[in-house]
Amino acid sequence: MTAPAKNGDTVKVHYTGRLEDGTVFDSTDGREPITFEIGAGNLIPGFEEAVLGMNAGESKTIRLTPEQAFGLWFEENVIEVPKAHLEGELNIEVGQQMQVKRNDGATITVFVTDIKPESITLDANHPLAGKALDFDISLVEIL
């Protein structure tokens, strides 16, 4: 028997992620398992922590708080922008994802949440920010 998964291990995992109401927001069902290094910080912290100590072939269901997942939702990450400030974006729709440059030159991803005649509202929070998430996790293999 192999040792349980630990920091630094590369693992293959199948998962299904659900909102508290049971709505599936992501899953590897019908796809290849994801492969990642535990502790590398490439996935949300609570997910990586949940895999620690699991053995190949083991499954579990966990609930992550917003802080363990995509963070809290912050009102200050929502701004209203005059349409005149948008370069070439004419066919904007609610729910659309856009890349915008901040004043410091960094590019961030935002989502259009409202459209008015003269302005649009952009939300820089992750769409799953502020939400508790449930995950069914199956550790397929420790590589």
Question: What is the average pLDDT score of the chain?
Answer: 94
Read off the pTM: 0.84
For residue 42, how far is the Cα from the chain centroid? 11
What's residue 102's pLDDT?
81
- Residue 97 CA to residue 110 CA, distance in Å, equals 6
Tokens at 115, concatenated = 């459209």
The CA distance from 36 to 100, in Å, is: 29
The domains of the chain, with CATH numbers, are 10-71+128-142 (3.10.50.40), 75-123 (2.40.10.330)
Residues 6 or more apart whose CB falls under 8 angstroms from that of 59 comprise 136, 137, 138, 139
pLDDT of residue 120: 93
Q: What is the 3-state secondary structure (H, E, C) of 13-44?
A: EEEEEEECCCCEEEECCCCCCEEEECCCCCCC
At 94-121, the pLDDT tens digits run 999 998 888 898 999 999 999 999 999 9
Residue 23 CB contacts under 8 Å (≥ 6 apart), including other chains = none
What is residue 62's predicted lDDT score, i.e. its pLDDT?
A: 98
Q: Give the model confidence (pLDDT) of 59-92 as tens digits.
A: 999 999 999 999 999 999 999 999 887 766 668 8
